[in-house]
A and B are shown apart, each in its own frame.
Chain A
Amino acid sequence: MKIKRSLSILLVVMMLVAIVAGCTKKDSDGSADGKTTLTFGLWDKYQEPIMRELADMYEAKNENIKIDIQLTPYGQYWTKLETAATGEVLPDIFWINGPNIVKYAANDMLVPLDELVESNNIDLSVYPEGLIDLYTVDGKLYGIPKDWDLTALWYNKKLFDEKGVEYPNENWTWDDMVEAARKLTDKEKGIYGIAARPDTQEGIYDTIPQAGGYIISEDRKTSGYDTKEALEGTKIWIDLLEEGLSPTLEEQADTNAIELFKGEKVAMVYAASWNVPVFMQNEVIKDHIDLTIMPLIKERAATIHGLSNAIAANSKHKDEAWDFVKFLGSKEANEVWAKSGVVIPAHKEVLDIWEAAHPEINLKAFVDELDYAVMYPVSLNTSKWNDVENEYIKQIWNRGITVEEGLKKISELMNEALTKEQ
């Protein structure tokens, strides 16, 4: 009896708590205290504090605005955004990336920004051209660039010194790199010269354009994987694997290339700029690593990607949202990103500040690569053929199929997916 009574009391209490919890919920528009609340969706815990700093700066100047940052981890971000889009409750402003921009723009989920850009006299030329192209869908701009990332060749100076090999420099060709990798590979110590990564942006998305090829045609209708340039740009990685200069796919599956580099098991690695804070926080390697531009294959190229701030079409506060997005795109806001050193700010005029965040390493390499950056390949349903790429790249790396067969398969399935989009 006693248990039963206490159980029922507990039950009543809990129900009451639920009701109270339900009632204290603030009006989601937040207009109760005369302030407009703008919701802001993002996915990176490590960038959240900087975003908060910017929001505080903005709130100080605009007393009637409150900015509510909503953090969702990347793994669940797109699921959540899609659910919110279906329910027409997207955050007023949110981060969007290349693979998703066409989908959201084509489904009228975003506010086109051209007219606003024009009427506010915003100079888009301060942002990398490849990024503006990436966020322009059917001739309309849907996002103001926030940051960008490129890939560079990182190397571990300690491992170079041990073998007496000269550090990589800007004049290196692919063959120079392979030659160095041969000298650096030390089977006994389990050290490899370079990691041939089964990756896109940190791998074949760079080497295929460098070999003169492309991933997707400019009209986003055909795949570039069936060209001989694509074959060359992929095969050079497989040659490294075959010669034993790189950890195998299996070894990289256990510990990915970035971790192997951090663990000083590979001397060189193609790694994108988002690794700067990751590497520079690591007390094991941070004092003896550096980077340079990717070695030359046939021509200079580097696939650029970056995030944008976009405004939801169903936002109830579009004007306020635009004003905040405008602020985030300003030089002032970009300076804050630059000083943080977490990401490369989109605004070209603050790049020197960003480079100074880690003066001990050659961050200028990324800025240099900007001159020949090529747009990140996307289409309406990018994820469809991204899955195809991932699957067959793994098989090629595993050498279950030849490079020729694998790329043929990718281009067939990718073309199929692209045809369905039209």
Chain B
Amino acid sequence: MKEISSNKKRMQINKIIIHLLLILGAIITIIPFVWMILTSFKTLGESTIIPPTIFPKQMQWENYKEAMRTLPYGKFYFNTIVYTMLTTIGQIVFCSMAGYAFARINFKGKNFIFVLILSVLMVPGQIFLIPQFMIMKKLGLLNSITALVLPGLFSAYGTFLMRQFYMGIPKELEEAARLDGCNHFTIFWKIMTPLVKPGIAALAITACLYCWNSLMWPLIVNTSIDKMTLSAGLSTLSGQHGTNFPVAMAGTVLAVWPMIVLFAIFQKHFVEGMASTGSKG
């Protein structure tokens, strides 16, 4: 009896320690967000004061007005949402089809092609910047939403991810479907794809996050402010010598809230997606 209660006690202490650590971790993670919001309400002078003040002396809603005034947020939201949705849908369609092919169909040179695709993952993305730019230029697509979307419609990472999910499905299922007269496409679409939904969710989330945050490509390929995404437009708020931090932070708050809302809604999937891919997007 005594042993059990002491065991229970020990477990409780462990739990408390774990929770304390988790709370500490949560606080550390949330500080930049809180700081961003607090700074967005300060005056320029207060934002750089030493030692810093934590709460703004007076709420400066003007910073938000100023951010909205200097940047066309309506266009940014539209562009970013179109860019994010098209890319995400494109990746789901193309990567799951490619992933299925690599996982379940035997064809000549399959491994060779797969290695080629994987090799794309081995080089840093910046290497593609100029070639991609040249391709867009030749297609006459510079400075358009299409140019934003096109290179991201397919990804090596997504193909690899989906292949792993399709490989995990037992062969018997495929054989049974074949006996019932299914061809490859119906097996892919009706039998297998519904089974890899967690994979699709994971892919959708990483693609979404990637688009929302991507900076370099939108900045390079699009020149006019009307064709920019939130992150690219936001970056123009930082000056060469000194930045108006309160306004920049207000602008950032305006840019991140949709992702925060999305996270709140799909929290469960986000966590699952991260856990199953081991990627932080």
B134 sits at the interface (CB 8 A): yes
Q: Report the separation of the CA atoms of residues A14 and B211 in the bound assembly, to the nearest whole angstrom.
A: 16
C-alpha spacing A11/B240, complex, angstroms: 41
Tell me, in angstroms, the Cα distance from A45 to B137 when the chains sit together: 27
Q: How far is the CB of A391 from chain B (nearest CB, A)?
A: 21
| A265, CB-defined interface residue at 8 Å | yes
CB of B50 within 8 A of CB of A76, answer: no
- Chain B residues with CB below 8 A from A401, complex form: none
A256-272 near B? 1/0 per residue, CB < 8 Å: 00111011110000001
B13 to chain A, nearest CB (A): 38
Q: Does B146 contact A (CB under 8 A)?
A: yes
| B85–A14 touching, CB < 8 Å | yes
Within the complex, the shortest CB–CB distance from A27 to chain B, in Å, comes to 10
Q: Which of B129, B130, B220 has the most CB of A within 10 A?
A: B220
Say yes or no: is A121 at the interface (Cβ < 8 Å to chain B).
no
Contact A18 B45 (CB under 8 A): no
Does A278 have its Cβ within 8 Å of any Cβ on chain B?
Answer: yes
- Which residues A67-123 have CB closer than 8 A to chain B? 68, 70-76, 79-80, 83-84, 86-87, 89, 91
B241 on interface, CB distance cutoff 8 Å: yes
Give chain B residues whose Cβ lies under 8 Å from the Cβ of A253: none
Q: How far is the CA of A21 from the CA of B144 in the complex (A)?
A: 7
User: Which residue of B145, B216, B219, B223 is within 8 Å of A18 (Cβ)?
Assistant: B145
Interface size on A, residues (CB 8 A): 49
Q: Is A255 an interface residue (CB 8 A)?
A: yes
B236 within 8 A of A: yes
Which residue on B lies nearest to A258, using beta carbons? B242
- B70 with A17: CB separation less than 8 A: no
- A282 touching B144, Cβ below 8 Å: no
- Nearest CB in chain A to that of B216: its residue: A76
Complex: A77 Cα to B249 Cα, angstroms: 22
The B167-210 residues at the A interface (CB cut-off 8 A) are none
Distance of A257 from chain B, by nearest CB (Å): 12
CA of A45 to CA of B241, assembled, Å: 11
Cβ of B142 within 8 Å of any chain A Cβ, yes or no, is yes
The reply to whether B238 and A73 form a contact with Cβ atoms under 8 Å apart is yes
Residues of A within 8 A of B219 (CB): 72-73, 76, 80
* Cβ-based interface call for A44 (8 A): yes
Known: A75-B235, A80-B220. A283 touches B44 (CB 8 A): yes
- Contact B223 A91, beta carbon cutoff 8 Å: yes
A262→B144 CA distance, assembly (Å): 42
In the complex, what's the smallest C-beta–C-beta distance from A298 to chain B, in angstroms? 29
Q: Closest CB-CB distance, A76 to chain B, in whole Å? A: 5
Let me know if A87 and B141 touch, CB within 8 A. Answer: no
Partner pick for A284 among B45, B137, B241, CB 8 A cutoff? B45
Contact A89 B142 (CB under 8 A): yes
Per a CB cutoff under 8 Å, which of B45, B141, B223, B225 touches A39?
A: B223
B155 at the interface (CB under 8 A from A): no
Known A22-B145, A76-B216, A283-B43: A259·B133 in contact at CB below 8 Å: no
Residue numbers in B under 8 Å from A45 (CB-CB):
70, 236-239
Q: Are A284 and B220 in contact (CB under 8 A)?
A: no
Given contacts A39-B223, A83-B220, A283-B44, contact A278 B144 (CB under 8 A): no
User: Do A265 and B89 have beta carbons less than 8 Å apart?
Assistant: no
User: What is the size, in residues, of chain B's interface with A at 8 Å between Cβ atoms?
Assistant: 41
A106 to B27, CA, bound (A): 53
CB <8 Å contact, A79 and B216: yes
Within 8 A of A (CB), among B89-104: 89, 93
Give A74 Cβ to nearest chain B Cβ, in Å: 4
Q: Which of A21, A73, A86, A259 contacts B82 (CB 8 A)?
A: A21
| Complex CA–CA separation, A83 to B127 (angstroms) | 11
- Does A25 contact B216, Cβ atoms closer than 8 Å? no
Give residues 36-71 of B contacting A (CB, 8 Å).
43-46, 48-50, 70
- Residue B252 CB within 8 A of the other chain: no
Which residue from chain B places its CB closest to the CB of A49 in the assembled complex?
Answer: B70
How near does chain A come to B207, taking the closest CB pair, in angstroms? 13
Query: From B135, which residue of chain A is reached at the shortest CB distance?
Result: A87
Cβ of A274 < 8 Å from any Cβ of B?
A: yes
Whether the pair A22, B141 counts as a contact (CB closer than 8 A) is: yes
Q: Check if B6 is an interface residue, CB within 8 A of chain A.
A: no
Pick the residue among B48, B50, B144 that contacts A25 (CB under 8 A): B144
Assess whether B240 is in contact with A74, with CB atoms less than 8 Å apart: yes
Q: How far is the CB of B148 from chain A (nearest CB, A)?
A: 9
B146 and A18 form a contact (CB under 8 A): yes
A46 to B236 alpha-carbon distance, docked (Å): 10
Measured between beta carbons, the chain A residues less than 8 angstroms from B237 are 45, 73
Interface string of A274-294 (1 = CB under 8 A from B): 110010011111000000000
Give 1 or 0 for each of B124-151: 1 = CB within 8 Å of chain A CB. Answer: 0000011001100100011111100100
User: What's the Cα separation between A80 and B215 when bound, in Å?
Assistant: 12
Chain B residue with Cβ nearest A282: B45
A275 touches B241 (CB 8 A): yes
Q: Is residue A174 within 8 Å, beta carbon to beta carbon, of the partner chain?
A: no
Contact A259 B149 (CB under 8 A): no
Q: Cα distance A264–B219 when bound, in Å?
A: 37
Contact B82 A14 (CB under 8 A): yes
Smallest CB–CB gap between A300 and chain B, Å?
Answer: 25
Contact across chains for A72 and B236 when beta carbons are under 8 A apart: yes
Residue interface bits A158-194, CB-to-B below 8 A is 1, else 0? 0000000000000000000000000000000000000
Bound form: Cα–Cα A55–B219 in Å: 23
Flag if A278 contacts B216 (CB, 8 Å).
no
Chain A residue at minimal CB-CB distance from B222 = A70
22 contacts between A and B (CB under 8 A): A11-B89, A14-B82, A22-B146, A44-B239, A46-B239, A73-B238, A74-B238, A74-B240, A76-B215, A76-B235, A79-B129, A80-B219, A83-B129, A84-B133, A87-B134, A91-B223, A255-B50, A274-B241, A282-B44, A283-B45, A284-B45, A284-B46
